[in-house]
Amino acid sequence: MQNFSSDKTSKSYNLATYIKPHWAPGLQIGASFYQDRLYPQGVGIRRVEQTISSAYVVYNNGVWEFLGEGVLLRNGLTGTPLSYNSPLSYGQISRKFGTFRPYFRYQYVNAAGGDPVNQFTARYAGPSIGLRKDVTDYAAVKLQYNLLQQRLVPTANGLLVQMAFTF
């Protein structure tokens, strides 16, 4: 949050909630709602009302892990009936073997064409397989292969190497 200067007169907000039922250890279900006003430069519009709604489910029993999330990103142009809705989702399953966690993920993105805020506007989906290695309690290394299927574009392959830290 900027406290000293801003290009707008209002602040964004985010509401989020989750539950962890004690009758289902390892399960967490949550949802969030984010709203903001954006003022994009050079696109000839005054203001974009942005909302991001999401819901997720996580199950982790220490060995098996399942993650699933769905998001709806909406950018509406103020003063017009135009709005751009972009659904996004993914699901992932993994199993832990010591400090290694192989996983399979499938992701789907359908970013609305003509959206004045998002630079990437297309549909893509595809599976990923990967291996995560926990180096310490606070650091992990990940190797992931992606197969990306896009509308009107040849299928692409990719390899991702990532190191992540937490605290």
Query: Using an 8 Å Cβ cutoff, are 142 and 129 in contact?
Result: no
Task: Using the CB atoms, write b or e for 50-86: b if 16+ within 10 Å.
Answer: bebebebebbeeeeebebbbbbebbbbbeeeeeebeb
Angle at 54 between CA 79 and CA 45, to 5 degrees: 20
What does the pLDDT read at residue 53?
98
Q: Mind listing the pLDDT tens digit of every residue in the chain (167 residues)? A: 444 445 566 678 999 999 999 999 999 999 999 999 887 776 666 788 999 999 999 999 999 999 999 999 999 988 888 899 999 999 999 999 999 999 999 999 998 888 888 877 788 899 999 999 999 989 999 999 999 888 777 888 999 999 999 87
* β-bridge pairing 48-60 and 139-150: unpaired
What does the pLDDT read at residue 167?
75
What does the pLDDT read at residue 5?
46
What does the pLDDT read at residue 43?
62
